Amino acid sequence: MPPRILVCDDEPHITCTLALRLRKAGFEVDVAENGAVAWDLIERSAPDLVISDCQMPVMDGLELCRRIRNDYRFVQMPIVLLTAKAYELPTKVLQRELDISAVVSKPFSPRDMLQLVQVLTGNESYANN
């Protein structure tokens, strides 16, 4: 069974682009438009990795990360945080306090994101897709 990735962003062009690229590489992909929807999906069926925007309505990405890390079922789940304002986010603090696997600035390369997902899920076998 291929790894399942949850992409959470309020910008449809981001979720569509990532979902298409990841599905083409053989991953299963769920999409959420905000952290509250993402949290519901995570509780129902935990993905292998979460990619979340930082700034979203209803529940932002930082709150989603806090909920994930405060739930013993998900403490080992890799999280990639997307942000248009990476220079304002204390990356080392985020990595230490919320165990964020990576902080990626928008705009980003879909190819680079695919490579990061492959590494974080341990699925480099999908690398040629």
**Secondary structure of the chain: what % helix, strand, coil (to 5)?**
45, 20, 35
Helix (H) or strand (E) holding 94: helix 91-98
This prediction has a pTM of: 0.89
Average pLDDT, the chain: 88
Residue 89 pLDDT level (bands cut at 50, 70, 90): low
Q: Rg of the chain's alpha carbons, rounded to an integer?
A: 13
Closest C-alpha among 122, 115, 120 to residue 22: 115
Condensed to tens digits (0 to 9), the pLDDT of residues 115-128 reads 999 999 987 654 44
Residue 126: its pLDDT value, please?
46
Binning pLDDT at 50, 70 and 90, where does residue 105 land? Answer: confident
Give CA separation, 116 vs 51, 62, 102, 119, in Å.
11, 20, 9, 5
Q: Per-domain residue ranges for the chain?
A: 4-124
CATH class of residue range 4-124: alpha beta
Higher pLDDT, 126 or 77: 77
